[in-house]
Amino acid sequence: MTTLADVYHYIGGDISASNTGDLQGVTDTVRGQQRVLRRLLTNPGDYIFEPNYGAGLAQWIGRTADMAEIRALIRGQVLLEDSVAKIPEPVVQVTQIPNADGGGFAVLIQYADAATSEPVTLSFNVS
């Protein structure tokens, strides 16, 4: 089976170049992390060919945040990624950031990589 490579690109940053000047590729666990972050931070409807893709976490900024609802949304979206193992189930923690302007929150996701079964941890703020 051939391992697919994506372009190395963390959402919110620039596309990376390799040492030879080509687009840098990414595979394995980092590819999965990038895909999970992209799914969570993309607004539904932004991809015209997949209108249901994305969790749109930024849409929660400035709203009364229901941490349980956000946690369920994240968990459901993470399980849609092929790089995330279904067993053990991902663990998602969402914590409101105290005094965050506009109602930000911190996200911690722990899951097993589907290909390697290695533990993966992602943490980021939405603010």
* 3-state secondary structure (DSSP) of residue 73: helix
Q: Residue 70 contacts by C-beta under 8 Å, 6 or more apart in sequence?
A: 57, 60, 94, 105
Q: What is the pLDDT of residue 2?
A: 46
Among the listed ranges 16-30, 47-61, 80-94, which one has the minimum average pLDDT value? 16-30
Q: Which domains does the chain possess?
A: 29-126 (3.10.450.40)
So what's the pLDDT on residue 76?
96
Task: Kindly report the average pLDDT of the chain as a whole number.
Answer: 83
Q: In the chain, pLDDT over 70 holds for what percent of residues?
A: 76
The secondary structure of residue 106, as a DSSP letter, is E
Q: Considering the entire predicted model, what is its pTM?
A: 0.80
Q: Which amino acid is at 121?
A: T
Find the angle CA(27)-CA(40)-CA(36) to the nearest 5 degrees: 20
Which residues, in sequence order, are CB contacts of 10 under 8 Å at separation 6+? 34, 37
* Ranges 47-61, 62-76, 97-111: which has the least confidence: 97-111
Give percent of the chain above pLDDT 90. Answer: 44
Angle, vertex CA 16, rays to CA 10 and CA 19, nearest 5: 145
> Cβ atoms within 10 A of the Cβ of 10, count?
15
pLDDT tens-digit profile of 71-117? 999 999 999 998 899 999 999 999 988 765 667 889 999 999 998 89
Q: What is the pLDDT of residue 1?
A: 42
User: In DSSP terms, which residues pair with 108 in a beta bridge?
Assistant: 93, 123
Q: Which residues contact 58 (CB under 8 A, 6 or more apart)?
A: 41, 43, 126
Residue 5: per-residue pLDDT: 58
